[in-house]
Amino acid sequence: MNNIVCIREVGLRDGLQLIRSQLATSTKAEWISQQVKSGFGEMEVTSFVPAHILPQFFDATEVLSMASCLDGLCPSVLVPNLRGGKLALGAGAKKINFVISVSESHNQANVRCTTEKSFQMLKELITESKEEQNVSVTGALSTSFGCSIEGDIKQRKVVHFAERMARLGVHEINLADTVGYANPLSVKSIFTDIQSAVGGIPLAAHFHDTMGLGLANIFAAFEVGVTRFDSCLGGLGGCPFAPGASGNVNTEDTVGMFNSMGIDTGVDIEKLIEVRRLLETWLPKEKLGGNLIKTF
């Protein structure tokens, strides 16, 4: 890809976590396929978690398998622990996103172990992944900008966690604002610090729009050199284990912002809006958000 900015759709993972509607596997396949046609090169397509915890992802293996066949798509999957990581490897995953919360309390609530244990599992997963060809393990740092259980998160702790992930050999570090506490100045500060600390490892940003600051935060991160952003079509999303979490920053609006600035994302906005309209028909009971859609 030669796009300046890469927007990674996480609607099929983060977007499905909080909603009650159950998407059929065939609908997920259609969603991925259509969004790839609109120009998306990266999508987080599922999560390898126990189905009794998040039944939306019962079909993780099947969805990943289908997504892996699509030309032009690098599908990633989220895993909360080593067991999920092994399942993902077994299912042929080529990009595995391992999540650790900077907040000890949120890590316990979200993945049910200490952060120390999470780091041990990440280390083992990276070792195991090296036995496969072309697998990259990326690290997501949840609650990097604050936690609704634990409160403030010290920036130096986020930097420390990012350094640990870098030393273990992750291929990318994604700072996630799980609840929506980031602001443009904290975004610039933390990404600048982490860039200095981890050198050339690509950084990505994952914002929620709880306070309406999602796009302002993306712009702020872009200003300090971040070019990889997560977002959800229709502004779906939220963590079921983070009280107060609301939707992710909206994909259409994110593409629209970069388009208006003349910065290439590789996405055809007209086609993307068609996918968004399809999403409305697939999830008729869900309230979708966004501004750009109102102008089409």
Tell me how far, at minimum, the Cβ of 268 lies from a copy of itself, in Å.
Answer: 17
What is the token pair recorded at 274? 């068609």
> Which residue is it, tokens 């906005």?
269
Answer for the pair 97, 174: CB distance below 8 angstroms, yes or no.
Answer: yes
**With binding defined as CB under 8 A, does residue 256 bind a copy of itself?**
yes
Question: What is the b/e burial string over 94-109, where b = at least 16 CB atoms within 10 angstroms of the residue's CB?
Answer: bbbbbbbbbbbebbbb
Of positions 134, 260, 270, 281, contacts a copy of itself by CB under 8 A: 260
Picking from 40, 163, 39, the residue whose alpha carbon sits closest to that of residue 12 is: 40
Binding-site size, a copy of itself (CB under 8 A): 29
Nearest-approach distance from CB 182 to a copy of itself, in angstroms: 8
Nearer to a copy of itself, 223 or 280 (CB): 223
* Distance, CA of 51 to CA of 10 (rounded, Å): 19
Q: Which of 179, 273, 266 is nearest to 217 (CA)?
A: 179
Q: Which is nearer to a copy of itself, 73 or 245 (CB)?
A: 245
> Which candidate, 136, 127, 144, 208, places its Cα nearest to that of 172?
136
Maximal C-alpha separation, the chain: 49
User: Which one-letter DSSP state was computed for residue 132?
Assistant: S
Q: Is 246 in the site for a copy of itself (CB under 8 A)?
A: yes
Q: Which of residues 262-281 bind a copy of itself (CB under 8 A)?
A: 262
Q: Which is nearer to a copy of itself, 285 or 294 (CB)?
A: 294
Determine which residue in the list 185, 243, 280, 287 makes contact with a copy of itself, applying CB under 8 A: 185
CA–CA distance, 199 with 118 (Å, rounded to integer): 23
Which of these segments, 1-9, 50-58, 136-144, 181-189, binds a copy of itself (CB under 8 A)?
Answer: 181-189
φ, ψ (nearest 5 deg) of residue 46: -170, 180
Smallest separation, CB 200 to a copy of itself (Å): 26
**Residue 3 touches a copy of itself, criterion: CB under 8 A:** no
Q: By the 8 A CB rule, do 7 and 39 touch?
A: no
How many residues comprise the chain? Answer: 296
Shortest separation between residue 183's beta carbon and a copy of itself, angstroms: 4
Q: Which tokens in the block code for residue 210?
A: 């709880």
Report, as residue numbers or ranges, the catalytic residues: 239
Binding map of a copy of itself across residues 200-239, x = CB under 8 A, - = no contact: ---------xxxxx-xx-xxx-------------------
Tell me how far, at minimum, the Cβ of 205 lies from a copy of itself, in Å. 14
- Judged by the rule CB under 8 A, the positions of this chain that interact with a copy of itself are 181, 183-186, 209-213, 215-216, 218-220, 244, 246, 250, 253, 256-257, 260-262, 290-292, 294-295
